[in-house]
A = this chain, B = another copy of it.
């Protein structure tokens, strides 16, 4: 018998840092956990933000944003970027992190974060407290240190951060559980005999 926990946003979600420029060209970053991939063709991400954030206005004006994905080593910066508003402080200056202007979209990313996604705004949908932005992925860029020998991303080297909304804690990624589209094959085979 399952126990009701109520109607709430209970999930463990990736932690992404959203980069944007304000009207004067000042770079800003904010941390978001209501994020994800939402389409394969064109490749798109979704990031949901409150209207009260600086980033909301920046994305609406510039039609661009980036996602900088923190590794475990960047968790303090990622948390800081979600604690304060770009309206009050220059988060890059305070944290000592470096904004890099994307060559593809009108937004900055965090140089010290190992994986970044450059997006142009495709849609903004009003859901409620949050506005859902859909950005088309124009490129993904990674530091050499998080790539495997074949040049593809090595998730365990990246060591991405997840946010648990119930305990309000960050978690690291754990070990592999098997290949997708493979470990479940026995289920069908076993039962179809």
Contact = CB atoms under 8 A, between A and B. Distances in A.
Nearest to A83: B184
A69 B47 CA distance: 21
Interface residues of A, number: 104
Contacts of A5: 139-142, 152-153
A78 interface: yes
A23 interface: no
A22 interface: no
Contacts of A171: 155, 173-177
A60 interface: no
Nearest to A70: B177
A175 B162 CA distance: 10
A26 interface: no
Interface of A: 2-14, 33-46, 48, 69, 72, 75-84, 89, 93-96, 115-117, 122-123, 125, 127-130, 132, 134, 136-144, 147, 151-155, 158, 160-188, 191-192
